Amino acid sequence: GVPAGRLVDRFGTRRMTRLGLATMALGASALSMMPAGFGLLGYLAPIAVITASYALFQAANNTAIMTDIRPDQRGVISGMLSLSRNLGLITGASVMGAVFALASATTDITSASPAAVASGMRIT
């Protein structure tokens, strides 16, 4: 978003790329280790950290890539960048869905116990 873009413009792509990746890792670690007793807030807080960190990483990464290529190649590179991200999103969602089903020991989430869902969430 706009705030992430402003931070990248102010502090540079390298620093913001590193910060985005590091805070994303912290948010993911917090999410995987959060006890179930923290409830909804224990789920939403790490997700908010991951989301903001991802936006920061994306802004810095896109800026770094697009400024390092020739102007006549920007359209092709932009398309390849979008394609690679979409393929990663599709593949990641499919694989993590399968891992969740395996970890929760169910294929029907509507009949899964809360403990099974929590187990699936911790693993994925």
**pLDDT tens sequence across 65-95:** 999 899 999 999 999 999 999 999 999 999 9
Give CA–CA dist 77/96, Å, rounded: 28
Give CA–CA dist 20/113, Å, rounded: 35
pLDDT for the residue 82: 92
| Phi, psi at 68, each rounded to 5° | -95, 5
Distance of CA 29 to the CA centre of its chain: 12
Q: Is the pLDDT of residue 36 over 80?
A: no
pLDDT for the residue 116: 86
pLDDT for the residue 77: 93
pLDDT for the residue 81: 92
Distance of CA 15 to the CA centre of its chain: 18
List the Cα angle 26/101/94 in 5-degree steps. 70
Condensed to tens digits (0 to 9), the pLDDT of residues 40-71 reads: 888 899 999 999 999 999 999 999 999 989 99
